[in-house]
Structure 1
Amino acid sequence: MIRIAMTLLVGLMLLPQAALSTPVRIKDLVEFDGVRGNDLVGYGLVVGLNGTGDGLRNAPFTEEIMVNILERLGVNVTGEQFRPQNVAAVIVTATLPPFARQGSQIDITVSAIGDADSLLGGTLVMTPLTAADGEIYAVAQGSVIAGGASVEGDGATIVQGVPTAGTVPSGARIEREVDFELADLTTVRLALRNPDFTTAARIEQVINADFGRSVAAMLDAGTVLLDIDATRAPSAAHALMRVENLRVEPERRARVVVDQRSGTIVMGEDVRISTVAVAQGNLTLRIEERPIAVQPNPFAEGETVIVPRTEVGLAEEETTGLAEVREGTSLSDVVAALNALGVSPREMIDILNAIQAAGALHAEFIVR
């Protein structure tokens, strides 16, 4: 019983460390050279809007594309004057995934470029999508699903979300494939999403240990070269399938990420801090408007006058002086030391910035 209890105790002591060092699949750490998507873009027209389209006086390009589409359909509108409010010019974007084949469908995003109020209920007319080389790789068409709502009255307007942008699920059909033959590759480079020498070395070691011979070599902090021929796999696809499922414990840099808009602070587990003294002062400015209406005497000639009256106050809250933030040897120690200051998250951002400037924050400080 004593031996069993000691075994359970040792297991519980080792559990937090194991949770912090969970291995990650190589496919979640790297990008395979050549296996990538390609951006597509097109210029089209959305029709069927309920009076929320472009004003053609302010968006003449909408009228031009509408005339071109009608003429291609055999409708002659040369010299005609028309001002519809149910059409909108849009930019269509999409990503052509790797190994996409002719006839398959992909999602697209539609965004208004004129002064349209909403794309709700609209339909995208057939729009060719081109890549950076100018070639057409897909054709888009379908009903637009906008991501917002707009309500307008005589005296007020309420807009929720962005009704001038939307998506068309499976709205583009691939008409041209990208020329890329994975089977012809003899070597493949593994590009790390977060370059690090230690992580790259661990990927090299794990791959070589799994194949039992030297098939991978670290070139730099962000690249590991895989020799397909040395793997003796039936094809490059079989070799990559085996490699991408191997697990590696990545090494992460110590970082503190701050979002000033929301006041969010995120720290990595390797963040360390040296002993510093911090004093935080709060300056409060109060402005209050209390205008007074001065009226003339009863039955006397005159006008009512508004006399402005402003009360301004400036106060500085008392502080307890310098507070010592002790050196932290772990993330929990750092968090406990910073929480002991008793400040808000936005004040904590200023404190962390000052500590980093003083050289006491041993981490990369990123402000977004």
Structure 2
Amino acid sequence: MNAGRKKRSPGRTTSAKTSRSTSGAPLSGQCVITREIAVAEGIYAPGHLGELTQIVPFDMVDEVLAECGAVQERLRKLPARVVVYLLLAAALFEECGYPAVWSKLTGALGSLPIPKVTSTALWHARCRLGVRPLHALFDLLRGPASAIRTTGARWAGLLVVAIDGTYLDVPDAPATRAHLGKGSNRFNTAGYPQICLTALVSCGTRAVLDAAFGPRITGETTYGRRLLRSLGPGTIVLLDRGFASNAFLEHTAATGAAFLARLTATRKPSVLRRFADGSFLSRFGELEVRIIECEISIATTAGHHTGVYRLATTPLDYRTHPALELVKLYHERWEVESAYFAIKKTMLGRRDSIALQAARDQVVQAANVIAGTVIDLIGTIGRAVLEHLMPARRLRVSP
């Protein structure tokens, strides 16, 4: 995103030099390492994400704060901009409390007069900021989907995306429990409160293009309706059975996007016209769709399993969009599940990936905070990933 964006003069910058030697000259057999760190000035210095600050620059955060009316009325130890970066960094150090995240943001800034803050001060600063600035910042950074050029991200000229939902545990605090509720049975309540997270994901890159969440009781289709704002011509969205109601499919088609949705086994669409590739024309309400029926067999160590799938899609021309190619395409819907796996098992499950570890290192070192003339979109994090590429994934099969 923002390839080739010119750097604005940071204006408020300072340099911190660190050295392993406290004397004027190195001792025998030792060397002196001196490093210059360019960060924001004064009490703004802890507000950074290391190299990722180039993607979320100071001026962007300042503009968002101004638009949301969240700029501090008086200069505090924790200006609003610093609190934004603190919360973003907390997503990289999910296992840490706010004081520990603060220590990582300031670890390389020892020679600067960084103010001392308490955990209570960090909590109050977060409450003062509220949620609107983070929501607005997400809207700035989440797209546009059309910028994705990764090989395999498109099919028949269409950007391939998927919508699906998942559930996440949240802390069992009284206020959270009162808002979200808890799971229950006939004997008692159990487990943690949960939110329902529904996301729009690019299947080629597993990038989250849009998201909506809230109490689990509301359901993923309600949150999915909010994501339709990010669809449009030039995309094809893959949908599971839970999103295949007439109303949801009609609203999806109204965005101009194509869809490929799996139907429930009990649904029996009417046959209006049969095509040469075995698919047939049908109608859901006022919407014309093409129905593809396929039988898929999977052999695993648990035995041989065969299932019948019924798919509905809006591309009606079987010559340009053959049924077999659409069946193969639907397998890509699983990439949204892989994206959720990365969030749950890597970031929330404390299993470090190369990208996450490299990003954390940049934050702790306060490295590459200020960009050069043109932003290097690959950067240290990207090069770390490219140098340690994972092997090709095995075919996913499940009994």
TM-score interval w.r.t. the shorter chain? under 0.3
- Of Structure 1 and Structure 2, the greater helix share is in 2
- Of Structure 1 and Structure 2, the greater strand share is in 1
| Higher Rg | 1
Q: TM-score, normalised by structure 2?
A: 0.19
Q: TM-score, normalised by structure 1?
A: 0.21
Ranked by relative contact order (alpha carbons within 8 Å, sequence separation 6 or more), the top structure is: 2
